[in-house]
Structure 1
Amino acid sequence: MKLSTTTLPLPVTYRRKMTLKLLTSLVGLCLFGAANAWLPHENSHRMEGRDGSNFFNNSANSVQGRWLPTNGNPIRGVNLGSLFVLEPWMASNSWSEMGCDGQNSEFDCVSHLGQDAANSAFKDHWSSWVTQDDFKQMQSYGLNAVRIPLGYWLDEDIVYSDSEHFPQGAMSYLESIVGWASDAGFYIVLDLHGAPGAQVASNADTGQYASTPGFYVDYQYERALKFLEFLVEKVHKTDTFRNVGMIEIVNEPLQNTGDDTTSMRTSYYKDAWDRVHSKEDEIGVHGDAQVHLAVMNNDWGSGNPTESMNSWNVAFDDHRYLKWDSRVSVDHDSYISASCNDQSQGDSPGIVGEFSLSPPDDVQWSGDWDPSSNKDFYKKWFTAQMTSYEQRNLGWFFWSWKTELGDYRWSYQDAVSDGVIPSDLGTIDRGSVCS
């Protein structure tokens, strides 16, 4: 998960996460051209593909191509955080048991343990962090989508074996995960969470705790493009990937409009669109059967993502965290009001790819915010966020499905267990919170 922000009616000041105590811190499922949304939704428009085909058929319970049959319902999903890009702040017990205690990132842990020992430790983690039973549980809660953070090192052919140290063998586990999700009827977003060279500095969610972001150069862009092509071939040639409809081309890049992000927008973003769809054309996949790309929206702070990119079938990912919004007064009423009146100022239509129930670090364990004694507030705040994200966007992905924090504010699974999020989302009375 990460470093994220909040989008409200006014311009937003973004802040990035640090470590657990500092932290204690899909995407878009929209197919758009201009202002049209791909996803089945009562207020969405229908859109034609490049070949003139309609993305939707007339069947009551299905849609064509790569679309999840949501029957007109909004996207309601979770991130599978710390599965394939392990973030120590949210999985400290597992991190320690793997022998990674004291290491900042996957890169550091593999360097510390050695390749063979690290491979064994990470395989144990991949096989247990999310299982088929988790998907059954998600399905029983009425969820219909997952966003899966990935590191570029899953394609082991593009890793510099003499200088880059990452766990090996994850692809077979990813195939199991997407297979279980597909069997459950979930829509799947694959998210390039850890880019070559690291898209931000000093953050475990890139897979490497780099002192400076090294992503913003042509040779690193090229490796990322090869990774996207690698994913696209998996999507179209492997049955377990059949419900993957979206690939996010980079998660949470630098929040500036300087030379780095200019080259990202004018070079990498443009080439990502061209290379992905050219690869699909090459293998005979056309129209609505093609995957769709997601980018962080304009509100993220990296400039206009479609400045040079073909905007056909581009999804806009918006991450909302009041935790880091200094404009909102830190009190219950202000949080409810801000979330009820939350309106994206960025590209539309979009989806909220990440959000949580965590308040600022300096108050999160105080009397007014302690999770054990303020469940009624957190219930209302979840309702306020869910209501806004479904009314003004196509839906949402909570960060995350599970953690080891013992804090339901970051864990959907724990929030349901603790009675903060209902197991049946249809029982939520939206009008009682946001009138």
Structure 2
Amino acid sequence: MGIGKLFKSSGTPVASAPATTAGQPPSQRQIYHSRFNHGPNLGGMFVAEKWISDELFGEKAKGTSELDAVSSYVKQHGKGEAKSKYEDHWKNWVKDDDWKWMRDHGVTAVRAPIGYWMVDGGKFTKHTPFDKYVSVYENAWSIFKEYVIKKAGTFGIGVLVDLHGLPGGANGQDHSGTTSGKAELWDSSRYESLALDTLQFIAQDMKPFDNVCAIQVLNEAPWDSSEGKVSKTHSSFYLKALEKIREVNPDVPVVISDGWDLGNWVEWVKKKESKLGSKEDPQTMGIIIDTHVYKCFSDADKQKAPGQLLGDVDNAVVQTEDADIQVGEFSCVMDGQSWDKHQGPPREQVVCDYGQKQMWHFYYRASAGAYFWTYKFEHGRGGEWDFREMTDKGGLANFRPQHGKNSDMLKRDLDGHLQRELGAHSNYWKGVDSNKDWEDWRYQEGFMQGWNDAAAFDSFDHSELGRLHAWAKSRLSEHIKAKGYSDNVWVYEHGLRKGVQCYSASIRS
């Protein structure tokens, strides 16, 4: 049976609460929601992956998934001992020293993969393969909140809550929770309903935590070209999930998977958002599109030398202002076949260059941030998959801008940037039509708003405004309400984006 043959395409786009507050600087919650994030995935913590950590699998586990691990451990040691073992793992995978190290090395957020089997103590496992192991996960959700959400918050670090494992599986990989090889979510209305209820609970329970920077509804949806430009099945699920989440948590960013087809999902967001609000009141769904960038798996990439793969980085993420994008997973890994073709600088230098080039590309193209796979490994270092090792070697250097500019210096920068950019904007459009009033005052107001917003982000531990699509539309709506609509309101948004850009250039110069 093909993907989604039991589903009917339904659902309508639902607007997010505004990303900003009219007349106010960003709140701490809004900064967590909309800054550019740099950090690792917490792989192997709450979704078992044997290649990262094997301690949960016991001696006789035959598979590599969470279900293989818990079933084997329970069979060998009983549910009580399994519960104790798992809880010890969850509590100690990331300790205070880890959070401090991350903060000191520029981490602004972590992506935390979780499975439906642990949410609310296993209450969403009925009639699933995890039902018989629910007692093992009795305290998992409270541990997640205490040892990840709250603990990260004490260090000023955000958490992207990633529902990695869904009922039935969103893909056939072992990181979905089983080694069945099936993606049964898409063919089962029961699994769909259970997944949506799980997401709604997560959204409601996470609402009090300002440092929850987003909720991801699934991980790595399978590529599906049978439906045309985008999968109608995926579209239907995303809209239903969005509606469920917005009922209980109106402002949290919602992350969807691009199904390995980023460009068409950008167009999907643009089309759906065109149905929201009006020209006088632009709105967004508050969606972030998640794309993953790996250059070590496909046969085509394996045929390329490392130098070619470095060149390919320039096209890894599409350039657009029509949607907010994040890179939910990337690494510094290239396949051995690629290294066999290498002639040139030492491998370690090439790897560091590769990591640095990726980060700068993501900074400009993936405004919501980038998350390296993965933070750590149980047994020693993980090489080019290891966030700490790559950071220590310089491949993932501290990306948070560190500057010592005082208010006088920033004011001089502002005056120079504004004069130059406003002049260039005005001269260009006068050249297009010298008789038209292009309302340059809107550009100046937008520029000042963008500069001031970026400065407010900077004041919160040198954060940078990143989720700019949602942010700019929210500020534009405020501007129209305050100053009125005209065909030139786009000028305000252009000015705002330029103001943010110039502030970032100022503090990075």
TM-score range normalised by the length of the shorter chain:
0.7 to 0.9
The answer to whether the 8 Å contact 1:149/1:191 transfers is yes
Q: Does 1:421 align with 2:396?
A: yes
Of the three residues 336, 342, 360, the one matched with 2:316 is 342
- Tell me the TM-score normalized by structure 1: 0.73
**Distance of aligned partners of 1:300 and 1:105 in 2 relative to their CA distance in 1, 3 Å threshold:** same
Aligned counterpart for 1:391 among listed residues 361, 364, 370: 364
For residues 236-259 of structure 1, what are the alpha-carbon distances to aligned partners after superposition, in whole Å with 9 as ceiling and x for unaligned?
24xxx3311311111102211447
Residues 1:107 and 2:67 are matched in the alignment: yes
- Kindly indicate whether residue 342 of structure 2 is the aligned counterpart of residue 353 of structure 1: no
- Asked if the contact 1:88/1:204 (under 8 Å) is kept, the reply is no
Q: How do 1:149-168 residues align onto structure 2 when only pairs under 5 Å count?
A: 149-155=113-119, 156-160=122-126, 163-164=129-130, 165-166=132-133, 167-168=136-137
Deviation, 1:345, is 6.7
Aligned counterparts of 1:143 and 1:291: Cα–Cα separation in 2:
20
Distance 1:143 1:55, change over 3 A: farther
Rounded Cα–Cα distance in structure 1 between residues aligned with 2:272 and 2:317: 26
Structure 1: 5+ residue stretches without partners:
1-32, 35-48, 281-285, 428-435
Q: Match for residue 407 of structure 1?
A: 382
Report 1:253-292 matches (<5 A).
253-258=221-226, 262=231, 264-280=233-249, 286=250, 290-292=251-253
Query: What aligned pairs does 1:7-406 form with structure 2 within 5 A after superposition?
Result: 54-55=20-21, 58-59=24-25, 62-63=26-27, 65-68=29-32, 74-92=36-54, 94-95=55-56, 98-99=58-59, 101-114=61-74, 115-155=79-119, 156-160=122-126, 163-164=129-130, 165-166=132-133, 167-168=136-137, 169-176=139-146, 177-201=148-172, 203-216=173-186, 217-237=188-208, 241-258=209-226, 262=231, 264-280=233-249, 286=250, 290-297=251-258, 299-300=260-261, 304=265, 306=269, 312-328=285-301, 330-344=304-318, 348-363=323-338, 368=342, 374-394=347-367, 395-403=369-377, 404=379, 406=381
Structure 1 residue 50, shift from structure 2 partner = 5.4
* CA contact 2:62–2:68 (8 Å) conserved in 1: no
Number of corresponding residues: 361
1:293 positional shift: 0.8
Q: Gapped runs of 5+ residues in structure 2?
A: 1-12, 277-283, 403-509
SS in 1 for 2:385: coil
Larger radius of gyration: 2
Percentage of pairs with the same residue? 22
Counterpart amino acid of residue 204 in structure 1: D
Q: Are residues 74 and 116 of structure 1, via their aligned partners in 2, closer, same or farther at CA, if it must alter by over 3 Å?
A: same
Provide Cα deviations, 1:248-306, integer angstroms capped at 9, x if missing partner: 111102211447x94632432121111111134xxxxx5xxx21211112643797465
- Between Structure 1 and Structure 2, the one with more helix by share is 2
In 1, Cα distance between the equivalents of 2:202 and 2:98? 24
Please tell me the root mean square deviation across aligned C-alpha atoms, in Å: 3.4
Which sits farther off after the overlay, 267-276 or 355-364?
355-364
CA–CA separation in structure 2 for the residues paired with 1:57 and 1:145: 27
Q: TM-score, normalised by structure 2?
A: 0.63
Distance 1:325 1:426, change over 3 A: farther
Task: Classify the secondary structure of the residue corresponding to 1:130.
Answer: coil
Instruction: Note the alpha carbon deviations across 1:146-204, whole angstroms, 9 max, x for none.
Output: 11101011221111267425541211221121111111112221111001011222x22
Q: Per-residue CA shift, 1:43-89, capped at 9, x if unaligned? A: xxxxxx75667358754xx535443288xx73212111111101112
Distance in 1 (CA, whole Å) between partners of 2:70 and 2:17 is: 46
**Aligned equivalents of 1:317, 1:163: Cα separation in 2:** 28
> Does the 8 A contact of 2:29 with 2:210 survive in 1?
no
Greater RCO (CA < 8 Å, at least 6 residues apart): 1
8 Å CA contact retained: 2:221, 2:258:
no
Which residue number corresponds to residue 460 of structure 2?
none
